[in-house]
Amino acid sequence: MEVIKTDIDGVVIIEPRLFRDERGYFFESFSQRDFQEKVCNTRFVQDNESMSTYGVLRGLHFQKPPHAQSKLVRVIRGAVLDVAVDIRRGSPTFGRHVAVELSGENHRQLFIPRGFAHGFSVLTDEVIFQYKCDNFYAPQSEGALAWDDPDLGIDWRIPAERILLSEKDRHHDRLRDAGWLFDYHEKLY
């Protein structure tokens, strides 16, 4: 696997090594050993999958300590714009984001460390989205930010009138009004 650094330390793109022949292709989608050596010393405990249609926007979500989560995300079918926002107060990149197109065609994965909010928008008719988490889901630790916070300046690549949100995702605070955020100096691993 190739690890590609982004503009924000810790958020990385992972490109697997694809082996193609007349039958199709094969690739190793995850190796705990390689991941720990090249990306982050964490262990994933839960795998999730969602199916969504064009215009769905999920996010921007995170979990607070002691249930903070890292995520390793990928798309099986279709394409999304995947976004990680640095929400660690005191970080040199606080409030900045990384946006990467993930698709069933490019096989890229994005690693979102603890201390980041995460979301994605669906760019194709249908998407199958999978992700690994290094901590179990804990509803009492849920946190989220407004997807349309103008201070974040995220271009979700979908017209605003076509965006489909859950009821919960319609009512999150902007980053500047968030009651709880991570501390850059707090040890999260």
Q: How far apart are CA 46 and CA 39, in angstroms?
A: 18
Please compute the mean of the pLDDT values over residues 15-29 and round it to a whole number: 91
Q: Would you state the pLDDT for residue 116?
A: 98
pLDDT average, residue stretch 122-129: 98
Q: What's the pLDDT tens digit per position in 82-107?
A: 999 999 999 999 999 999 999 999 99
The mean predicted confidence, pLDDT, of the chain is 96
Judge whether 32 and 42 are in contact, CB under 8 Å. Answer: no
How many whole angstroms separate alpha carbon 12 and alpha carbon 1? 12
* pLDDT over 90 at 161, yes or no: yes
Task: Give the span between the Cα atoms of 56 and 22, in whole angstroms.
Answer: 35
Residue 161 CA to residue 127 CA, distance in Å, equals 20
Query: In Å, what is the CA distance from 128 to each residue of 26, 109, 125?
Result: 18, 13, 11
pTM of the model: 0.95
Are the C-beta atoms of residues 147 and 119 closer than 8 Å to each other? yes
Structural domains for the chain: 43-180 (2.60.120.10)
Whether pLDDT at 14 is above 90 = yes
Residue 18 has pLDDT above 90, yes or no: no
Q: Annotated catalytic sites, by residue? A: 61, 131
